[in-house]
A and B are shown apart, each in its own frame.
Chain A
Amino acid sequence: MPVTVLLIEDNPGDIRLTREAFQESGFAVDLHVAEDGVDAMRFLRREGIDADAPRPDFVLLDLNLPRKDGREVLALIKEDPNLKTIPTVVLTTSDAEADIVRSYQLHANCYISKPLEFQKFSEVVRQIYDLWLQTATLMRNCA
């Protein structure tokens, strides 16, 4: 059974890159993409056109997004009793101290700076998969 991942990212290049990275790693991933914060929340709350959306096992969140930005999305996920159990990894180009601190204060499960090279990016994606989707025991395994 493939794991369901929601990638919240506005940059098509990064979306494709993430897709390629998962592909290269050979994992069975059902990758869904939301290109802004509003879409992301609709997907997570299964509202409107996303009423039938699956509940993701895992969220990859970029911080800089149009409309509702990544920090707000993170806050909303972690405030929502239904959503806060979903592991949410901040994956962003920023390595600014302020962003790192703020993200953890908002209960991000993990903060990762996007590596500059594809090689490394690919490795990071694999490590995320290994840790969060293989090593860790997640909520979805519970009744």
Chain B
Amino acid sequence: MLDAPRSSGLLEGVASIGGTCPPTAEATRLARMEARYRGLLKAAPDAMVVVNETGEIVVVNMQAEKRFGFHRHELLGKKMTCIIPGGSVEQLIADCTRTAAESMAQQIATGIELTGRRKDGSEFPVEIMLSPLDDADGILVTAAIRDISVRKAADAHLVQMEARYRGLLEAAPDAMVVVNQAGEIIIVNVQAEKRFGFHRHELLGEKMTRIIPGGFAERLIADGARTAADALAQQIGAGIELTGRRKDGSEFPIEIMLSPLDGAEGILVTAAIRDISVRKAADAHLVRMEARYRELLEAAPDAMVVINQAGLIVLMNLQAEKQFGYKREEAIGKDVTSIIPVGFAERLVADGMRSAQESVEQQIGSGIELIARRRDGSEFPIEIMLSPLGGEQGILVTAAIRDITKRKNADAYLLRKVEELNRSNEELGQFAYIASHDLQEPLRMVASYTELLARRYKGKLDSDADEFMAYAVDGAHRMQQLIKDLLTYSRVATNERRLRETSSQDALTHALHNLRAAIADANAHITSDPMPTVFADATQLVQVFQNLISNAIKYQSHGAPRVHISAAQTGTGGWIISIQDNGLGIEKQYFEKIFGMFQRLHQRDEFSGTGIGLAVCKKIIEQHGGRIWVTSEPGEGSLFQFTLTES
């Protein structure tokens, strides 16, 4: 920086010094010297002052005049302390004059910082470089004086900045380590101490490999082919995952972020080190979960397709491959309309008024029936269930797709069967009704005329004729009863509209009223518990009670019939109604048979009846959705029971 005065070779050209101060005997010599140096000094950018052995200023350049605010003649011959008040200057100059060789060695490259004083008394920091000048008139000292105010201010700023930087470093939530190019740690923050379990002084000066055994130093200087700057530039901003080692030898996963720091000692590297144990664990968990999700997806019995909000297929399981005839890699990225042409994509984003989220939520849990298309173009009916899946790429929709061809076929088959059954039932009902009517007419003729015959001619022909007529009349009457019963049975059609909350108490009372003659005749004793309200056709319920109680009275061998009617609640909101008698009882083998049409267990001359009563009861109860059955022991009476719902 002060090249000119330092180079001794240049001094040879100095001849004289011109000036007005001091006006002594030496004036001539000084003037000569000034003249010798003037050209050189003029050109110097620094203030230059030449001092003789006694410390008097003998040469001053224009820069010095400007810097200190003095006129040349005000300085020449004055002591150096005029402009550099500190006493050390004299000492320095004195030292300087001891031996040129000595002092030269001492001064070169070292600036001495002192304080300069202007004419107006203001002071400013200066740096002085001294160099001896072996002149014919004795030893002179050239002082190059530089105003270092700006540099001083910059230095102060730097100190401040460094303090601030340190503050930041300490406040950082991450462990921060600053490393020099040799890979040595030069700064450590408190987080780094904590994280690695070292004391600051244990780390400073240590190699980075103490705390990051592998990967760091290598990255730092990468290889001989790359410069440190290159290697650094490459790393900046990218988190590098490495392993950290604590003082106790335990290791943990870290992520480091490097940034270069141009410092006084060259390029430094600041490494922000973050402990990512938790994140690593979370990542591992996520990977496991995803694997599990994938497994689930694969294991699902249904075809599973995951679709993004744009309606593109992003995932497909094995079943889906099978069902649609696509290879996974073919299908992924395709629009969902290629496998479900209509109804799905529309639902996905529904309309502008609804958010995708809403429309997805709306679909959850509800099976939607649509038509799917295989790769070969063939179509099949499906049912899909949607569920949203919050993914990194936004909401995805998982669609579970079930091929419902079989179910559809079964449904159609069932529907057809039901229709057939309804038709045949209707025909059967009509048949029974018409047949009984049409049978009735001729039968009435047979019955009426044999009766008429009997009335007119009984006793007028022979005894055979009377017997024959009696059989004919009896046969006709029985036939009539059968037809009448058949008609009754065929008419038991429970109309849904007639099912209502019905008092079974009232129905029972009504039935007993209808049976009052039979009850009186048999001297029967009928008792009952309070009866519940049930859901039934009142008229038909009367019919059931009437048939069952009439049977209970009828099938008796001796003594007075005792019949008890009761009701008990079932666990499922229904009722079991029981009719217990003390009659003949029934053998187990007939428990089913007696409910059949025209099934009789007794001879005609024992008990009258066609055997339609229980069949009618069964039909009524079953049409009410109930069940009727009997439990009995011969000689121990019978217990007839049936169920009815409450509503």
Contact = CB atoms under 8 A, between A and B. Distances in A.
Contacts of B433: 96
Contact of A93 (B440, B447, B452, B477): B440
Interface in B443-481: 443-445, 447-449, 451-452, 455, 477, 480
B447 A118 contact: yes
Nearest to B451: A118
B441 interface: yes
Contact of B444 (A94, A96, A114, A119): A114
A31 to B, nearest CB: 17
A52 interface: no
Interface string B420-441: 0000000000000100010011
A128 B315 CA distance: 88
A121 B448 contact: yes
A6 B444 CA distance: 22
B645 to A, nearest CB: 27
A11 B441 contact: yes
A13 interface: yes
Contacts of B447: 116-118
B437 A116 contact: no
B440 A13 contact: no
B437 A94 contact: yes
B485 to A, nearest CB: 13
A13 B449 CA distance: 9
Nearest to B443: A116
B480 A20 contact: no
A116 B452 contact: no
A93 B487 CA distance: 13
A17 B448 contact: yes
Nearest to B487: A95
B480 A116 contact: yes
A122 to B, nearest CB: 9
A69 B5 CA distance: 152
A79 to B, nearest CB: 28
Contacts of B452: 17, 20, 118
A118 B480 CA distance: 13
Interface in A5-63: 11, 13-14, 17, 20
B448 A13 contact: yes
A117 B449 CA distance: 9
Contact of B445 (A13, A20, A94, A96): A13
B430 to A, nearest CB: 12
A99 to B, nearest CB: 10
Contact of A118 (B440, B448, B484): B448
Contacts of B437: 93-94
Interface in B112-149: none
Contacts of A20: 452
Nearest to B444: A116
Contacts of B455: 118
Interface centre among B433, B444, B449, B480 (most CB of A within 10 A): B444
Interface in A79-96: 93-94, 96
Contacts of B448: 13, 17, 116-118, 121
A20 B452 CA distance: 9
A121 B445 CA distance: 12
Interface in B483-521: 484
A9 B625 CA distance: 44
Given A116-B480, A117-B477, A93 B451 contact: no
Contacts of B443: 116
B495 to A, nearest CB: 12
Nearest to A24: B455
Given A116-B484, A118-B448, 14 more contacts: A13-B444, A17-B448, A17-B449, A93-B437, A93-B444, A94-B437, A96-B433, A116-B440, A116-B443, A116-B444, A116-B480, A117-B447, A118-B447, A118-B452
- Nearest 4 A/B pairs, CB to CB: A118-B448, A118-B451, A13-B445, A116-B480
22 contacts: A11-B445, A13-B444, A13-B445, A13-B448, A13-B449, A17-B448, A20-B452, A93-B437, A93-B440, A93-B444, A116-B443, A116-B444, A116-B448, A116-B480, A116-B484, A117-B451, A118-B447, A118-B448, A118-B451, A118-B455, A119-B451, A121-B448
